[in-house]
Amino acid sequence: MIHGMDHVPTTEAAVTALRVLADAYQREIEVTHDIGADQTSRRTAAGVGVTTDPDGALPHEAHVEFGGLPRVSVRLHPEDDALIGVEGVECPDIARDDVPAFLHSVFDGLAYVRARRFPPGYFLVVPLPGDRTHKEFIPMIVLTPWLSAQVR
């Protein structure tokens, strides 16, 4: 575990932690920032040119793409949660504090795909600290070669 990534209170701190993680796993990283209520994904109703929330806060969202396989993306929302994509499988509502552990599990090969016989289906299973796991349903059409290689 990389130290100093236990709690990432701001979007910028979270991006810095993800840069450290990318460096540790020798992965390229591309970051884009959306700043302002009219730019962030959850505030589309804010109106054109409206940059602050009603409370005066300036929301900051970041989208991070990691190079290599598996293909991983992270959208850090201003509300302290994230949407993580692994090979096209979207994992919503990941607590910002869980993002580094989630990515460690994926990059260290601990994440796997569980196959269910009946009804047939696949789930991405990502171990998290404290004997927790994140499970996400995978539609069969999304089953990429990397995901297929992780089936247990």
The model's pLDDT over 17-28, given as tens digits with 9 standing for 90+, comes to 999 999 999 999
The C-alpha atoms of residue 47 and residue 49 are separated, in whole angstroms, by 6
Nearest to 91 by CA among 44, 125, 122: 125
> Can you tell me the mean pLDDT for 102-122?
93
Tokens linked to 28 = 């390229």
E strands in 69-120: 72-76, 81-86, 89-95, 112-116
Q: What mean pLDDT is reported for the chain? A: 83
- Amino acid symbol at 146: W
Q: Is the pLDDT of residue 72 over 90?
A: yes
The C-alpha atoms of residue 149 and residue 152 are separated, in whole angstroms, by 9
Confidence of residue 1 (pLDDT cuts 50, 70, 90): very low
Q: Is the pLDDT of residue 30 over 50?
A: yes
Q: Is the pLDDT of residue 58 over 60?
A: no
Nearest to 127 by CA among 105, 151, 145: 105
CB 78 within 8 A of CB 40: yes
At residue 19, φ and ψ (nearest 5 deg) are -65, -40
Q: What percent of the chain has pLDDT over 70?
A: 77
Task: Note the pLDDT of residue 44.
Answer: 47
- Among the residue ranges 30-44, 81-95, 108-122, 133-147, the one predicted with the least confidence is 30-44
Task: Note the pLDDT of residue 122.
Answer: 94
Task: Note the pLDDT of residue 35.
Answer: 57
The model's pTM: 0.80
> Can you tell me the mean pLDDT for 75-104?
93
Task: Note the pLDDT of residue 78.
Answer: 82
More confident residue, 85 or 121: 85
**What residues have CB less than 8 Å from 117, skipping those under 6 apart?**
none
Task: Note the pLDDT of residue 42.
Answer: 45
